[in-house]
């Protein structure tokens, strides 16, 4: 956890990029799915630029500077837990938490084991199970058991390291959805939407010598605290309330992926 001294770091400054719209959120197919999953109107992607050279070991300075930057304070969106309305951060952040999230995957073959381990049938249908309730989540198929229940006998097919991959995190968030999530019978919409969001957020580069494609983005899961306690992504903790910073060190862009758990909206 990094603590502030009342002054933003002079090393990193940020500029809001309102015209760098997220194509992913503009797609009608994605909107329709987010409505179904009770996430529409509660999820946002924003972009900021920075002018300084960034390396991963600087994460604490970088994240603290981000939340103390005036352009961030006045533009970073979050949902008010009390009113349910969008607002901007607008507060003096005292300290931050930034958790490293692995971002090494470049192929959706990462999820092929869902078929080989018979979580998903060859047809793409997710295997059903008896209904049960786990915290805020209804479980009616094996995919949710795989995502949520450590005692499930196939939980092991994704290791702890696998589960810390950003690709897996996105997949899990989309599968679990919001408070009134209508889950899918087929795996296709989850995989397709995960792929399109990952592609939107994560930058890759081909090595000129080996010709191997690798990710170059650095990802942090972040929280921020003001004098009253946690203020971002929400004053209330929930597994499906999250914020990630995805940093492209070459373009010097940082994307923010934000979601607040609750009842989603219908499309306009």
The structural domains of the chain, with segments of one domain joined by +, span 2-22+35-101+207-259, 108-201
- Give the integer Cα–Cα distance in Å for 122 and 114: 10
Residue 94 confidence (pLDDT) above 90:
yes
pLDDT score of 8 more than 50? no
Share of the chain above pLDDT 90, in %: 84
Does position 4 have pLDDT exceeding 80, yes or no? no
Q: 131-135, 191-195, 242-246: which range is least confident on average?
A: 131-135
For the packed helices 188-201 and 28-36, what is the interaxial angle rounded to 10 degrees?
120
- Identify the pLDDT of residue 2: 63
Model confidence at 9, pLDDT cuts 50, 70, 90, reads very low
H-helix segments, 136-179: 142-148, 160-163, 166-176
User: Which residues make beta-bridge pairs with 9?
Assistant: none
Residue 265 binned pLDDT confidence (cut-offs 50, 70, 90):
confident
Please state, as a whole number, how many other Cβ atoms lie within 10 Å of the Cβ of residue 165: 19
pLDDT exceeds cutoff 60 at 183? yes
Write out pLDDT tens, residues 61-79. 999 999 999 999 999 999 9
pLDDT given for residue 20 in this prediction: 76
Average pLDDT value for residue range 165-173:
98
Question: Average pLDDT for residues 119-147, to the nearest whole number?
Answer: 95
The chain-wide mean pLDDT, for the chain, equals: 93
Which one has a higher pLDDT value, 114 or 20? 114
Residue 230 has pLDDT above 90, yes or no: yes
Token look-up 């199970």 returns 129
Q: Give pLDDT, residue 188.
A: 98
Confidence of residue 39 (pLDDT cuts 50, 70, 90): very high
pLDDT bin (cut points 50, 70, 90) of residue 3 is: low
Residue 130 corresponds to which tokens in the numbers above?
A: 């008896």
Model confidence, pTM: 0.94
The pLDDT of 220-247, averaged and rounded, is 96
Distance of CA 145 to the CA centre of its chain: 21
Helix axes 166-176, 188-201, angle to 10 degrees: 130
Give the chain's largest Cα–Cα span: 57
b/e per residue, 18-37, with b = 16+ CB within 10 A?
eeeebebeeeeebbebbbbb
pLDDT at 144 exceeding the cut of 50: yes
pLDDT band at 6 (very low <50, low <70, confident <90, very high): very low
């Amino acid at each position: 956890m990094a603590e502030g001294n009342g002054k933003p770091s002079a090393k990193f400054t940020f500029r809001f990029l309102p015209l760098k719209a997220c194509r992913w959120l503009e797609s009608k197919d994605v909107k329709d799915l987010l409505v179904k999953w009770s996430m529409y109107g509660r999820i946002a992607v924003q972009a900021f630029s920075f002018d300084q050279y960034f390396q991963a070991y600087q994460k604490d300075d970088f994240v603290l500077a981000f939340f103390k930057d005036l352009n961030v304070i006045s533009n970073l969106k979050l949902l008010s837990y009390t009113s349910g309305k969008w607002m901007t951060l607008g507060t003096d952040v005292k300290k931050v938490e930034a958790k490293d999230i692995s971002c090494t995957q470049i192929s959706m073959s990462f999820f092929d084991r869902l078929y080989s381990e018979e979580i998903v049938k060859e047809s793409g249908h997710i295997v059903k199970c008896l209904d049960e309730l786990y915290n805020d989540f209804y479980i009616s198929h094996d995919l949710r058991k795989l995502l949520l229940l450590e005692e499930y006998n196939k939980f092991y097919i994704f290791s702890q390291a696998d589960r810390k991959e950003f690709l897996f995190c996105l997949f899990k968030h989309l599968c679990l959805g919001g408070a009134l999530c209508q889950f899918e019978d087929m795996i296709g919409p989850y995989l397709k939407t995960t792929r399109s969001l990952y592609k939107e957020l994560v930058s890759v580069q081909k090595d000129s010598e080996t010709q191997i494609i690798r990710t170059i983005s650095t990802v942090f899961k972040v929280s921020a605290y003001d004098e009253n306690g946690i203020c971002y992504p929400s004053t209330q903790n929930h597994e499906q309330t999250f914020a990630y910073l995805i940093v492209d060190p070459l373009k010097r862009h940082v994307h923010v992926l934000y979601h607040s758990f609750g009842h989603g909206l219908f499309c306009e």
